[in-house]
Structure 1
Amino acid sequence: MGGVPRPSRAELAAAKDRTIPDVLAPGLDVLFCGINPGLYSGYTGHHFARPGNRFWPALHASGFTPRLLRPDEQDELTGFGLGVTNLVARATARADELTDDELRRGGERLVRVVREHQPRMLAVVGITAYRTAFDVPKAVIGRQPTAIGDAGVWVLPNPSGLNAHYQLDALAAEFRKLREALR
């Protein structure tokens, strides 16, 4: 993982509530939005950093990146027209530690970020968090019927290794549908 030593339990616990900077640039093709950083990401300062998280492999397998990037290479994303943010900035051990109010406030902030940076597509990774943040309880994976300004909205499955509903191949297939929709 880019030379970052494996954190101890105490180091992970100390990462609670830390934030990581967004990876943003104006006019991206896709702004990916996670739910919130896990403790491993809070510890490293990198998005989707926990070993076993399938964001980076899915990004590569779907053709968004020409090679498999490591979390510590996240700043290279903008060169591929991609960015990353989170609905909620603070790191937690599990996404279910977030309140519905936090998710809704995160959705409001996300709308401001999208309006400011104007990506072609916002891709939220995590259907349950998306439903809560944007008050669309029946939303499904894929393109959403709403937009934020000129940006389309797409929902992808959560790439966490804890999401047993999607194995890497199925996850990459959903990411690929998004990439193909941008053509």
Structure 2
Amino acid sequence: MLPDLLRPGLRVVIAGTRRAGRPPAHPHYYAGPGNRFYELLHASGLVPEPLRPEDDDRLPDLGIGLTDLERRVDEVAGHETVIVPLVAPFEAKLRRVAPAVVAFVSKTAATVYARGVGERAPSHYGPTAFEVAGRPGFVLPGPSGANNGMPLPLRIALWRDLADQLDLLGHQS
């Protein structure tokens, strides 16, 4: 499990999902081949300089935290798979650090959280209709290579929307 990169006073916590008990594939957040997370952070203006996965521990100094919403996958009667988000520990750590915004790194991550708290799954990118642990929520398009069907300029623009939202809230990028 990758350690949370969290502390009080963050502009934003970016949250993905992770299967509980499964070891990470890489020793750093968003380090998989084809993942454009760090490129999107820089191109959107969320960070002032290009970073690499090995720099992930620098993100809190730049006002950005990273964590995952853990989920348990259960099989019901051997054929139906049920995803159970572990919402309570996720919300507890977010309440402790109280970021200005909680941004999900994909609609999938936002949907897992929304269903876990009884909200409707988001149908668009941008601000959510629900709060996340008492903080404004935001949905970003995923940075992974699996999302390469979305043109990079559009992904950058949608990540820039998060930077703009933080500026509106008084947390300069």
Q: Where on the TM-score scale, by shorter chain, does this alignment land: which range?
A: 0.7 to 0.9
C-alpha distance in 2 between matches for 1:110 and 1:83: 13
Report what 2:52 is aligned to. Answer: 70
Normalised by the size of structure 2, how large is the TM-score? 0.79
Question: Which of 42, 60, 66 lines up with 1:84 in the alignment?
Answer: 66
Structure 1 residue 126: deviation in Å? 1.4
Matched, 1:59 2:41: yes
Counterpart selection for 2:10 from 10, 20, 28: 28
2: CA distance, partners of 1:157 / 1:176: 11
- The structural deviation recorded for 1:150 is 4.8
Residue aligned with 1:180, SS: helix
Q: Deviation digits for residues 101-153 of structure 1, max 9, x if unmatched?
A: 1xx21x33322121111000000011023213222234421101222355210
CA RMSD of aligned residues (A): 2.2
Asked whether the equivalents of residues 142 and 178 of structure 1 are also in contact (C-alpha less than 8 Å), the reply is yes
Counterparts in 2 of 1:35 and 1:60: CA distance versus 1, 3 Å: same
Query: What amino acid sits opposite 1:146 in the alignment?
Result: F
What one-letter code is carried by the residue in structure 1 that aligns with 2:60?
T
Aligned to 2:83: 100
| Alpha-carbon distance in 2 for matches of 1:35, 1:148 | 14
- Counterpart residue identity of residue 54, structure 1: R
Q: 3-state DSSP class of the match of 2:146?
A: coil
Give distance in 2, aligned partners of 1:171 and 1:157: 6
Verify the 8 A CA contact 1:28 1:83 in the aligned structure 2.
yes
Question: Which runs of 5 or more residues in structure 1 are unaligned?
Answer: 1-18, 91-97
The structure that is strand-richer by fraction is: 2
Shift of 1:169: 1.8
What SS does the aligned partner of 1:36 have?
Answer: strand
Alignment check: 8 A CA contact 1:54 1:168 kept:
no
Give me the whole-angstrom Cα distance separating, in 2, the residues matched to 1:80 and 1:68.
Answer: 12
- 2:32 is aligned, of 50, 71, 92, to 50
Does the CA-based 8 Å contact 2:36-2:145 persist in structure 1?
yes
Residue identity matched to 1:123: A
Q: Deviations over 1:36-92 (max 9, x none)?
A: 38xxx92432000012101110000000111111111111101110011111289xx
* Superposed CA offset, 1:14-37 (max 9, x none): xxxxx1111111110000001238
What is the count of residue pairs matched by the alignment? Answer: 152
Provide the C-alpha distance between the structure 2 equivalents of 1:99 and 1:67, rounded to a whole number of angstroms. 41
The whole-number CA distance in structure 2 between the counterparts of 1:85 and 1:27 is 15
Counterpart in the other structure of 2:113: 133
| In 1: Cα distance, 2:91 partner to 2:151 partner | 30
Q: Percent identity?
A: 33
Matches within 5 A, 1:153-164: 153-164=137-148
Residues 39, 50 of structure 2: 8 Å contact kept: yes
